[in-house]
Amino acid sequence: MYWARKSFTLLLTLAFVLLLTFFAFRIIPGNPASAILGMEASQEQISELEQKLGIEGPLHLQFFRWAGGVIQLDFGHSIRFSEPVLSLIASRLPVTLSLAAMSLAITLLVALPLGIAAARARGRFADLFISLTSQLGLAIPSFWMGIVLILVFGLTLKWFTVSTFVPWSENAWLALKSLTLPAIALAVPQIAIVVRYLRTTMLEQMNEDYVRTAKSKGLSNANVYYKHVLRNALIPVVTVVGINFGEILAGSLVIEGVFTLPGMGRLLMTAIGNRDYPLVQGMVLLIAFTVIIINFVVDLSYRWLDPKIRLK
Amino acid sequence: MPLLTDWVKKAIEPEPSSQQRNCRLPEAGERDEDELLAVRNLSVNVKSSSRPVIEGIDLTVGRGEIVGIVGESGCGKSVLSLSIMGLLPSALKLGGGELRLNGQSLHQASQRQIRSMRGKHMSMIFQDPMTSLNPTLTIGEQLTESLRLHLKLGGREARERAVLWLRRTGLPRPEAILSSYPHQLSGGMRQRVMIAIALCCEPELLIADEPTTALDVTIQAQILDVLFRIREEEQTSILFISHDLGVIAELCDRVAVMYAGQIVEQGTVEELFESPQHPYTIGLMKSIPKPEKKGMRLYAIPGTVPSLHDRGEGCRFQSRCAHAAAICLDAMPALEHRGGSHAVRCFLASGERREMDV
Ligand SMILES: Nc1ncnc2c1ncn2[C@@H]1O[C@H](COP(=O)(O)OP(=O)(O)OP(=O)(O)O)[C@@H](O)[C@H]1O
Ligand SMILES: [Mg+2]
């Protein structure tokens, strides 16, 4: 029942995204054929090229042609690169996804201990320090953070080489190294959000009766916090992290520009600039699909954390 | 090492029977062999204003003894029990006085020392079983963690013991309950689990803070039955907090009546129920519904408990007392002995008030 309902919503959302990606971008004025041929092209030349690119005729027929292809995993050919959309995306996706995954990992690794520490030190120096710093982290835009990181760790200290991305398949260690700085830049505001949120939910949970029961057994403070309180406090935090993953993904499109990483971000910019309809549509669809999958994973971890939902 | 000698004595000597039980109020500073918990002149204050929530509390619980505490809502019963457990909410703190368990001071003990006693030597059952268990952990996890901590049992031993204890509380299919979560159990079942958690390490003192108030009447009787059956077998001392005078009369050896943060009368159950002396106690007894008075309106003590801020210099009950005189407004009566273990905090029952009355 759960799976049936879940798959149905998944399909429905995908169909909606499909529609939106196609029509939203077509509303914007501009034409790829005239973009390619330049100002002097005649009307005949333009319609000839349109026919070749498969963007002629009524819009709804174009849509059905495209959607029919998508269902068979055929996303069409890129206009700008004259290459299949799918292979273009496949070459760029690993960079963006590993960047997003890395910054999520950094976010959790740093934010969870800090949030717990702030809650435990409530009102004392450590709490004030963490809260103040996270306020600052929230105010700094990622791209600016990226530039500062490049200046300090790349150009001055020379700990990281900037602007040379090594693919995972070539050298995993160097790939990891070239993604570290942008991942940190992306993670900083996320860390700030999660720390503040976790601190609040931990403090809320600490007033609950079951905490008093746990203490009445003689458990150590660490045990009470990490075993009893954290698990309950994480339930709402997971939702926030899930919603923010979309944000991380969007952020990585931007930060790729700052660090000149060959990811989806730069490909998307080029595609939009050239009115490369098939490529833009394919990429937006894929990004939406990723976000939907992430939400699904969030839902699963939610069920794992909260037995009330799991056992319903 | 008074604690160690206590343990040795306890191990060699047989438990005193209830007839031999010493029922008088020990004087301050006195150390009684049979004494398990001693509360001496204890007060608990609000941190921000230093206003006392409870004050001048004197209470002793002997080994194997059941002591009841009654009093209206808000008189400080839970605050008293939490202060014994060292679990006061952060807005409150211990004031003056003394707290001893097994002769060891709880007042001066470090957090670590108190922690090692919680669950092992003293434990507590709370008022609301619906919220007192962690919703995200299985019953088994919540029950075995104290067994593993205090009795150093391994995983399998702890599980076996947990099953044993769940069975003792009368829960059907204890193995299945071990792997279920609190929301899958009813209130009565959860309170049985709480009893198992509180008693599984065989503490000497159990504090039961209105363990049945949140349950419906038929379940209440079952829970009390379980609690007192196990305590017969284990000889656990109980500090039993309740609104229900009937239950107190039936189950307890001694009773303390609390009013607005103070003990106003205490004694054995016989002393208190046969000759109540404080007007508040008399009022409480009158308000118990009786079958022969069927159809008549229930008696209720007029007025309400004064709030923390409205407590004056004089007797706390004075504003609701039919016998209040001038002195009751000006001075606070002391808790004075009235023969046996009976003690009363009232001028009416003492010489001063009698003289003024004529
Ligand atoms: N966290 C707190 N902060 C400030 N005051 C408190 C706090 N907890 C309790 N008090 C004060 O202590 C008084 C006694 O509360 P307590 O919970 O001990 O009453 P009780 O006798 O257990 O009542 P009930 O029968 O309703 O459980 C309250 O009236 C309140 O003024
Ligand atoms: Mg209470």
Residue A124 lies inside a defined structural domain of this protein:
yes
- Does B121 contact chain A (CB < 8 Å)? no
Residue A78 lies in a domain: no
Average pLDDT of the residues of chain A = 86
Q: Is residue A137 domain-shared with residue A222, that is, in the same domain?
A: yes
Say yes or no: A51 and A145 in one domain. Answer: no
CB contact under 8 A, A216 and B123: yes
Q: Are residues A32 and A131 in the same domain?
A: no
Q: A95 and A12: one domain? A: no
How would you write the pLDDT of chain B (358 residues) with one tens digit per residue? 444 445 444 444 444 444 434 444 445 445 566 889 999 999 999 999 888 999 999 999 999 999 999 998 889 999 999 999 999 998 999 988 999 999 889 888 888 999 999 999 999 999 898 899 999 999 999 999 999 999 999 989 999 999 999 999 999 999 999 999 999 999 999 999 999 999 999 999 999 999 988 888 888 888 888 888 888 888 899 999 998 888 899 889 999 999 999 999 999 999 999 989 999 999 988 887 777 766 777 788 888 888 888 887 889 898 888 888 888 888 888 898 888 889 999 888 765 544 444 3
A63 within some domain? yes
The answer to whether position A77 is within a domain reads: no
Tell me, what's the ipTM? Answer: 0.84
For A222, what's the count of Cα atoms within 13 Å in the CB-facing half-sphere? 2
> What is the number of the ligand 1 atom nearest to the C-alpha of B53?
12
User: What pLDDT is stored for residue B31 in this prediction?
Assistant: 56
| Residue A296: predicted pLDDT | 82
Checking if the pLDDT of A89 tops 80, the result is yes
Residue after which a domain boundary falls, among A46, A71, A96: A71
Tell me the nearest-neighbour CA distance from A112 into chain B, angstroms. Answer: 19
Instruction: With CA atoms as reference, report the closest residue to B144 among B114, B179, B169.
Output: B179
Residues of chain B by 3-state class (helix, strand, coil), percent to 5: 35, 20, 45
Closest CA to B333 of B256, B74, B343, B30: B343
User: What is the Å distance from ligand 1's center to B89 Cα?
Assistant: 10
**CA-based nearest distance A6→chain B, Å:** 24
Length of chain A: 312
**Residues A269-285 pLDDT 10s:** 888 888 888 898 899 88
Q: What is the CATH number of the domain that holds A268?
A: 1.10.3720.10
Q: Provide the total of helices (H) and of strands (E) in chain B, helices listed first.
A: 13, 13
Verify that A151 and A214 share a domain, yes or no. Answer: yes
Distance CA A259, CA A181 (A): 9
Whole-angstrom distance, CA of residue B124 vs CA of residue B104: 19
Residues A226 and A261 in one domain: yes
Task: State whether A149 and A37 are in the same domain.
Answer: no
pLDDT tens digit sequence for A111-164: 999 999 999 998 899 999 998 999 888 888 888 888 898 888 888 888 887 767
Q: Which of A202, A217, A310 to mutate to test the interface with B (most CBs of B within 10 A)?
A: A217
Chain B CB contacts of A305 below 8 Å: 136
Cα B135 to Cα B128: distance, rounded to the nearest angstrom: 14
| Whether residue A98 sits in one domain with residue A61 | no
Residue of B nearest to A305 (CA): B136
How many angstroms separate the alpha carbon of residue B75 from the centre of ligand 1?
A: 7
Listed by start position, the domains of chain B span 122-202, 279-289+297-350
A196 in Cβ contact with A269 (< 8 Å): no
The last residue of one of the domains, among A39, A71, A103, is: A71
CB contact under 8 A, B146 and A217: yes
pTM: 0.81
Instruction: List residues bridging with B67 in a β-sheet.
Output: B239, B254
Residue A76 is assigned to a structural domain of this protein: no
Tell me which chain A residues have a C-beta less than 8 angstroms from the C-beta of B120: 218
Do residues A90 and A167 lie in contact, with contact meaning Cβ atoms separated by under 8 Å?
no
Ligand 1 site, CB within 6 A: B 46, 53, 71, 73-79, 89, 91-92, 308
Q: Is the pLDDT of residue A14 over 80?
A: yes
List the helix and strand counts (H, then E) for chain A.
Answer: 14, 0
Question: In this structure, are A194 and A143 located in the same domain?
Answer: yes
Cα A184 → chain centroid: 14
Q: In this structure, are A160 and A287 located in the same domain? A: yes
Q: Which domain holds residue A66?
A: 2-71
By Cβ distance, the residue of A208, A218, A232 closest to B118 is A218
DSSP code per residue over B235-279 = T-EEEEE-S-HHHHHHH-SEEEEEETTEEEEEEEHHHHHHS--SH
- A41 and A187 together in one domain: no
- Cβ–Cβ below 8 Å for A217 and B194: no
* Pocket residue to mutate for ligand 1, from B77, B82, B85, B305, most atoms within 8 A of Cβ: B77
Minimum-distance CB partner of A306 among B85, B136, B194: B136
Same domain membership, residue A290 and residue A194:
yes
Amino acid of residue B270: E
Number of domains in chain A: 2
Q: Are B344 and B336 in contact (CB under 8 A)?
A: yes
b/e A131-143 (16+ beta carbons within 10 angstroms → b): eeebeebeeeebb
What is the per-residue pLDDT across A36-53, written as a single tens digit (0 to 9) for each? Answer: 777 777 888 888 877 777
Residues of A in contact with B116 (CB under 8 A): 218
